Amino acid sequence: MNFTFSEDQLLFQESVRDFLCNEVTATAIRALWSSDSGRSDALWRQLAELGLTGMTVPEAHGGLGMSALDFVLLAQECGYVALPEPLVHTALVAVPLLQDIGGDLAAQWLPKIAAGEARVIVGLEQNLLVEDAHVADLLLLQRDEKLYALDPALAVLRDNESVDPSRKLFAVEFDASQAMLASDDGALIDRSLDRGALGCAAQSLGLAQRMIDLTVAYTADRQQFGKAIGSFQAVKHHMANIAVRLEYAKAPVYRSAYALSLNQAGAAENVSHAKLAACDAAALAAKNSIQAHGAMGYTWEVDLHIYMKKAWALAGSYGDRAFHKKRVAQALFADGAMLGAAGTFQN
């Protein structure tokens, strides 16, 4: 299968990367940690002006009408800068779920999302806690196999700390009788879980690359025995091992974005494969980068920990390692599973 992106997609990725690297610096992220919400309304407006909040919103509702395959490269760049804003969640989870629900709910909220006037947050039971519930204009919450649409003012939020200071996690309690039943179709919940897992996988690719870049820069400057430690073979091997793992993780992530965009059979196991591969690459990047920094990368003062902690947090979001390994195993050992070269090239 050809995983090559078009020239337009790559140019858009480059322009978004330049914007994010200029606006979402480590200094800016640290400043948000001490703010009340941990989020920036000004940055959200800028993202909307670039058309990013409305990328996957249909054109009929004021968006660009693009798919997960169009957005996956941008999600990767969001990971590269450890973007705190729920842009990936919006484009890959909230917007497609509203489209699946349809009706008045979609007609009311999709134009607002495209214009940057609203944040719609989805809370799935798989995640236990709801990220960014405190800044939501609308909550879409799962209870058993049902989805409820709720005004956040009617919910009780209990703050929970995360290993990543940029993540704002809340236990959300609400009375279902005060909420609107948005859907009782469990398939919508399953698709939302897959899209969220894809977003985590794509961001993990970006995080792994950022940790490589930070560590290469550090080891080029750090001197021992009169030489930059980056010239030592052991350090080079650490970085090379990450680069290999990262490169092999990209194809499964792009494959899963393709499968989700076309709603292909087997998309769920494609997503699980992608999340496992990408999160493993990010975990190795964190481990080896800490070692190359002499453990000081874990400290509050060094920027590496911003990206490392986000990678750790994403690994357990939208299904942990055990959940996704189980789904892959079920696909591999299912009766009639298409394995080997014949199955690969048939798909």
Q: Mind listing the pLDDT tens digit for each residue in 186-233?
A: 999 999 999 999 999 999 999 999 999 998 887 765 556 556 555 456
Q: Which carries the bigger pLDDT value, residue 297 or residue 71?
A: 71
Q: Mind listing the pLDDT tens digit for each residue in 88-117?
A: 999 999 999 999 999 999 999 999 999 999
pLDDT of 234 reads 63
Which residues are CB-contacts of 336 (< 8 A; sequence separation ≥ 6)?
none
Tokens of 332: 């591999």
* Dist CA 99 CA 280 (whole Å): 32
Q: Mind listing the pLDDT tens digit for each residue in 130-165?
A: 999 999 999 999 999 999 999 999 999 999 999 999
pLDDT of 205 reads 98
* Dist CA 127 CA 144 (whole Å): 13
Nearest one of 192, 184, 182 to 94, comparing CA atoms: 192
pLDDT band at 346 (very low <50, low <70, confident <90, very high): low
Sign, CA dihedral 77-63-127-123, equals positive
Mean pLDDT (whole number) for 161-179:
94
Mean pLDDT (whole number) for 72-79:
98
pLDDT at 175 over 90: yes
pLDDT at 239 over 90: no
Which residues are CB-contacts of 192 (< 8 A; sequence separation ≥ 6)?
93, 96, 97, 122, 124
Instruction: Give the chain's domains with CATH numbers.
Output: 188-346 (1.20.140.10)
Our CA angle for 118, 123, 126, nearest 5°, is 155
* Dist CA 135 CA 130 (whole Å): 11
Tokens of 239: 């970085």
pLDDT of 293 reads 76
pTM here?
Answer: 0.93
Nearest one of 141, 127, 133, 151 to 97, comparing CA atoms: 141
pLDDT band at 335 (very low <50, low <70, confident <90, very high): confident
pLDDT of 343 reads 63
% of the chain residues with pLDDT over 90: 80
